[in-house]
């Protein structure tokens, strides 16, 4: 019996340092390109995955989902394929699981929430190279947390969006945004129903200005309400950014 084409979700994690982001593009090595190549070789058929989002060059993911349609592959065969697919992938990319979903399930459009972390460290640490941003200088973390909480009062985040994107709306519902201190640094966590291109790095860059006391809460509100990217702070480096969670109604 020949099995029909079925849709599978692939959960993976990756160190984005060596890659030009997630999405396949000409003349550049991307995570999607490496994943599709490994899946195609292992399952002996052309495979084109579709990701839950598009992380930029140098950005990491500890939890990322993609979906792919596989012909003639049973659920058990897909579940047991993880080791074989990983053997075909570079060490910086790891598939965690492959599981069957409904034919209409969509890795991008069915996600109801996403969470990112941005990692800072304050003292030189060779083990954090390309995985955290070395920041030198004093920061008022309490003021930054007060400012971060203000983000939950807004919907339109045009001021933190990369210019000239093709999104239909710049509205996002942020549900949490806060900094927590670590032994040698700081982690910023932010969750929302969706994010704009470059949004998290632009928000962090602006909150840094609060921490340096270069702007205050009133100016932050003015920046958001201006809907003008040039009024916000510079984007922080990609190396500290991690996609850490994606929530779907049908995925445990």
Give the model's confidence band at 163: pLDDT under 50 very low, under 70 low, under 90 confident, else very high: confident
- HEC profile for 51-71? ECCCCCCCCEEEEEEEEEEEE
In this prediction, residue 2 carries a pLDDT of 57
In this predicted model, which residue has the larger pLDDT, 126 or 164? 126
In this prediction, residue 168 carries a pLDDT of 79
Residue in this structure with the two tokens 């984005």, named with its chain if needed? 16
Task: Dump pLDDT digits (tens) for 210-242.
Answer: 999 999 999 999 999 999 999 999 999 999 999
Task: Dump pLDDT digits (tens) for 35-56.
Answer: 999 999 999 999 999 999 989 9
| Residues in binding site for substrate | 116
Q: Go through the domains of the chain in sequence order and give each one's CATH number.
A: 5-100 (3.30.70.580), 113-247 (3.30.70.660)
Mean pLDDT of 128-154: 97
Task: Dump pLDDT digits (tens) for 62-99.
Answer: 999 999 999 999 999 999 999 999 999 999 999 999 99
Cα–Cα distance measured from residue 81 to residue 98, given in angstroms and rounded to the nearest whole number: 8
Active-site amino acid positions: 56
> Is 122's pLDDT higher than 90?
yes
Spell out the residues 6+ positions from residue 19 whose beta carbon is closer than 8 angstroms to its own: 29, 30, 31, 34, 57, 58, 92
How many contiguous H segments (helices) and E segments (strands) does the chain have?
6, 9
Give the model's confidence band at 162: pLDDT under 50 very low, under 70 low, under 90 confident, else very high: confident
């Amino acid at each position: 019996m020949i099995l029909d084409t079925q849709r599978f979700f692939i959960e993976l994690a990756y160190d984005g340092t060596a890659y030009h982001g997630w999405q396949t593009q000409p003349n550049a090595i991307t995570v999607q390109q490496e994943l599709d190549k490994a899946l195609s070789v292992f399952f002996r058929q052309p495979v084109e995955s579709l990701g839950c989002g598009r992380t930029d060059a140098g950005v990491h993911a500890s939890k990322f989902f993609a979906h792919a349609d596989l012909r003639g592959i049973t659920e058990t065969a897909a579940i047991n394929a993880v080791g074989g697919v990983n053997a075909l992938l570079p060490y910086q990319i790891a598939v965690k699981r492959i599981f069957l979903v409904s034919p209409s399930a969509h890795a991008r459009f069915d996600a109801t929430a996403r969470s990112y972390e941005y990692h800072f460290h304050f003292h030189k640490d060779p083990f954090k190279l390309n995985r955290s941003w070395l920041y030198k200088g004093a920061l008022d973390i309490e003021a930054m947390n007060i400012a971060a909480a203000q983000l939950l009062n807004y919907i339109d985040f045009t001021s933190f969006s990369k210019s000239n994107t093709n999104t239909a709306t710049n509205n996002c519902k942020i549900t949490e945004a806060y900094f927590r201190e670590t032994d040698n640094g700081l982690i910023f966590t932010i969750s929302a129903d969706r994010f704009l291109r470059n949004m998290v790095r632009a928000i962090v860059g602006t909150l840094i200005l609060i921490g340096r006391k270069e702007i205050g809460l009133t100016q932050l509100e003015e920046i958001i309400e201006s809907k003008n990217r040039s009024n916000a702070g510079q984007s922080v480096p990609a190396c500290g950014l991690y996609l850490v969670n994606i929530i779907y109604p049908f995925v445990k």
